[in-house]
Structure 1
Amino acid sequence: MIDLQLQNTLQEALHNQLGNAFGIDRMEIVAGGDINTALRLSGPQGSVFAKLRPAQDMAMFEAEAEGLRALSHCDAICVPKVLACTQAGNMASLLLEWLDIQPIRSESEACRAGEALAALHGCKGEHFGWMHDNFIGSTPQCNTESDNWAQFFVRRRLQPQFALAAQNGFGATFKPYAEAIFEKSPAFFIEYHPTPSLLHGDLWSGNLGALPDGTPVLFDPACYYGDRETDVAMSELFGGLPVAFYAAYRKAQPLSAGHELRKPLYNLYHILNHLNLFGRSYLGQAERMASSLARALKC
């Protein structure tokens, strides 16, 4: 995969974007997510981060670039600058500014990150959804706009994931719960009416870090406008974030009554997506969440 043709194509894309003769002296594979090949491109001018996928997946990188540009309008956070989306033979690539990102470790970093997320959620939209469909991981994510959040979340989030689970052979597992959850989950929103906030959309500890000076960094987004609680809920999955992060967020933007009841509904979307992407190792967790939701809704 890392060959001379690829190196030349990436170098040409960088030259066209940066307006200088960026010379790639070295390409090395680095950590960059579960679904992409990630490279560090190094040369005399510094480094660039590159993601690679098959050429037919270019739309995924275009959607990610759009999300990063949207997040960049929030001054409280840092995101990698998009340099280029390009195609090299049978490979699609997304070229980003190289940032020295480290996990959030200190309490002060956690506080800054919580405050930054609250600031991001202060960016409001007119409708729930997004101007284009995009992806959650490599799963298509429908973003047709709506003024009804409960309806949006059922139709654009839960229903497609349950349908995909059925296609993947898990339909019988969720048959006792799915239709009832679709029908009755709007009960969570009788007295709760969220406004459309700009969301990262795929917010877990692996997509949030800090620069050496403590500046919060967000990356790998799946942006849309929705209930801000969805970002907060997902951040508690897969190990969660430091307590100071949540304390700082709540101080800046207190959560509404009932958020603990809504959290499993929101996180079911992501666990179903992991089931559909990575297989039955997530089946038990997804079934428990669906069953618990059904009981909470008295289905």
Structure 2
Amino acid sequence: MATSDKRIRVRPALAGLDTALCQALGEAIGKAAGKPAGIDKATEVGGGSISRALLVDCGDVRCFVKLNDAGLADMFAAEADGLSALAACSALRVPRVVGHGVSGHHAWLVLEYLNLHALRERSAGAAAGRALAELHRIRGAQYGWQRDNYIGSTPQGNAPHPTWPFFFARRRLLPQLRLAQQHGHHGRLIAGGERLVEQLAALFVDHQPPASLLHGDLWSGNAATDEAGTLALFDPAVYFGDRETDLAMSELFGGLPDSFYAAYREAWPLADGFEQRKMLYNLYHVLNHLNLFGTGYLHQAERMIARLLAEIGG
């Protein structure tokens, strides 16, 4: 039920939140809880490099809150959409979306608070691998998604297409190359990247993957287990695509146990050629890191493009 302004308790000093933002968060939490709610405590927590993150207590209700500039409200709307899509997989634990919106200069997203644990134990890793395979068994008619979303804070276009090499070349690699150009990168990165985009189909002569539901931004920082040992996923960039892209990214920065990969492969073996495609799929994320965080990723991206072109004979 909706809550009236007079029944919302607001303490503006909490974690530097202004009165209007406290009001908006309290109203969203109260509406979801079915009772008036006011913020009793707000604690800053680590939430990644894109958004500010808080734990917010409203009476006996605790929520996880993400804040960013009002201009990025669509990023939170896309995240809410992605979480709802992941929640369709019964093998996963996904935080429920409490609400999202804009208050003054702030965009906000309120999520159910989950008590999560790092994916380190062998048994937890195996259960997580099997759960991810179940997510990937959810199929789409084409590659793409019902709306565009974001990879980090970078826009990610998802206009559907029936051909996977076309989709990955034109919806993933090419936009990142164009963004890199806008950031002043030229030379080998762009010339080689454009050649790779044009010749990408050569890497998929014997690989025609089903359109699986993907997390889209799967690394150890976006995966954990809940108290029951169920794989919990969050911060998605969902779309239908080759399931190998999730597995490839999960290896890019490490952090997941070997049991995770062994159990996944036992549940759904990978096709020949994965090691070659893994580099291609991770190139997308390296280019995105280049565009988000700067030139520290430039030479890595150039080397990956050169190796892929050598594989093709480009």
State the TM bucket, normalised to the shorter chain.
over 0.9
Q: Which moved more, 1:194-203 or 1:8-17?
A: 8-17
The equivalent residue for 2:199 is 184
The equivalent residue for 2:120 is 105
Q: How far, CA to CA, are the matches of 2:71 and 2:81 in structure 1?
A: 18
The equivalent residue for 1:18 is 33
In the alignment, structure 1 residue 293 sits paired with structure 2 residue 302: no
TM-score by length of 2: 0.93
Kindly report which structure 2 residues correspond to 1:141-152, keeping only aligned pairs within 5 A, or say none.
141-152=156-167
The equivalent residue for 2:148 is 133
Kindly report which structure 2 residues correspond to 1:48-197, keeping only aligned pairs within 5 A, or say none.
48-197=63-212
SS in 1 for 2:98: strand
Q: How far, CA to CA, are the matches of 1:234 and 1:68 in structure 2?
A: 19
Q: How far, CA to CA, are the matches of 2:188 and 2:292 in structure 1?
A: 17
Residues 166 and 172 in structure 1, CA contact (< 8 A), matched pair in contact too = no
The equivalent residue for 1:237 is 252
Residues 79 and 218 in structure 1, CA contact (< 8 A), matched pair in contact too = yes
Give the C-alpha shift of residue 2 in structure 1.
1.9
Residues 120 and 256 in structure 2, CA contact (< 8 A), matched pair in contact too = no
Q: How far, CA to CA, are the matches of 1:175 and 1:137 in structure 2?
A: 22
Per-residue CA shift, 1:235-294, capped at 9, x if unaligned?
Answer: 001124111000000000100011111111110000000000011111121111111111
SS in 2 for 1:38: strand
The equivalent residue for 2:42 is 27
Residues 23 and 45 in structure 1, CA contact (< 8 A), matched pair in contact too = no
Q: How far, CA to CA, are the matches of 2:34 and 2:19 in structure 1?
A: 21
Q: How far, CA to CA, are the matches of 2:289 and 2:190 in structure 1?
A: 19
Runs of 4 or more, structure 1, over 3 Å off, are none
Q: How far, CA to CA, are the matches of 2:116 and 2:160 in structure 1?
A: 34
Give the C-alpha shift of residue 215 in structure 1.
1.3
What residue identity is the alignment partner of 2:92? I
Residues 10 and 88 in structure 1, CA contact (< 8 A), matched pair in contact too = no
Q: Which moved more, 1:211-220 or 1:241-250?
A: 211-220
TM-score by length of 1: 0.97
In the alignment, structure 1 residue 260 sits paired with structure 2 residue 286: no
Give the C-alpha shift of residue 176 in structure 1.
3.7
SS in 1 for 2:183: helix
The alignment yields a C-alpha RMSD, in angstroms, of 1.1
Q: How far, CA to CA, are the matches of 2:145 and 2:191 in structure 1?
A: 31
Q: How far, CA to CA, are the matches of 1:85 and 1:248 in structure 2?
A: 36
Unaligned runs of 5+ in 2: 1-15
SS in 1 for 2:53: strand
What residue identity is the alignment partner of 2:77? E
Q: Which moved more, 1:26-35 or 1:65-74?
A: 26-35
Q: Give the % identical residues.
A: 49
Q: How far, CA to CA, are the matches of 1:3 and 1:275 in structure 2?
A: 34
